Amino acid sequence: MQFPTTPTFDLTGKRALIAGASSGIGLAGAVALAERGADVVLAARRADRLADIVAEMTARGWSARAVTLDVTDIDATRAVVAAEGPFDILLNSAGLARHTKAVDTTPADFDAVMNINLRGAYFLTQAVAQGMIAAGKQGSLINISSQMGHVGGLDRAVYCASKFAVEGFTKAMALEFGPHKIRINTICPTFILTELTQPTFDDPEKRAWVLDKIKLGRAGEVQDLMGAVVYLASNASAMVTGTSMLIDGGWTAD
């Protein structure tokens, strides 16, 4: 009897660019990819922090290097991707949240969030895809979106708008990139305990609201996302594109 073979999660020989890699979800994703054998390029604005991370990763025998990158600088982003690529994998975890009531949103806050979460994500994804296509490489593009790209949230009109937009361009790009065998998907976490979300968890009322909405009864941790990163980056998800992986503890189930 001929049994099917489980697709590999091994990423040996693959090159991965991780934006927003200096902390939180991005750092966890970089570790997950490196553990599976990928050659990881960590990108963020905090050069000193990246240097420390790369030193620890290489000490463990992983292949890692760092580049300074601000995704809101489109020309610089294109230059970095051109110099370091072509890549097989993109994990974009660069993001920003400025939560206010919709009636209190300022143009400055709106622009700051959109410049990173939407404009930066779009053109970073474009740059990596261009490199893949030019090199004739198949690959996987992964943007860290949010459950808030699927539902509304208190004081999160701008953030939700940015993430709904990421979900939209992911679907459109999947149609365009599919013939090149390039896949693009999003990972949509619930509230994950990171530096970015700490102010929410420090507020008893907001913490209670979050935990009430998560059906599994706890906040997420970065480890909850690492398997999804590996899955979407690897051949195990070879038939997955144009979709989102919700890791939300059941938040969006009702």
Q: Is 100 left (phi over 0), alpha (psi -120 to 50) or beta?
A: beta
- Residues 6 or more apart in contact with residue 16 via CB below 8 angstroms: 30, 33, 38, 39, 40, 41, 87, 88, 89, 90, 91, 233
* Active-site residue, 231 included: no
Phi, psi of 137, deg, nearest 5: -100, 140
End-to-end CA distance of the chain: 43
Give Cα separations from 163 to 26, 32, 37, 137, 200 (angstroms). Answer: 17, 24, 30, 28, 19
> One of 159, 191, 231, 251 is an active-site residue; which one?
159
Q: Which residues belong to the active site?
A: 159
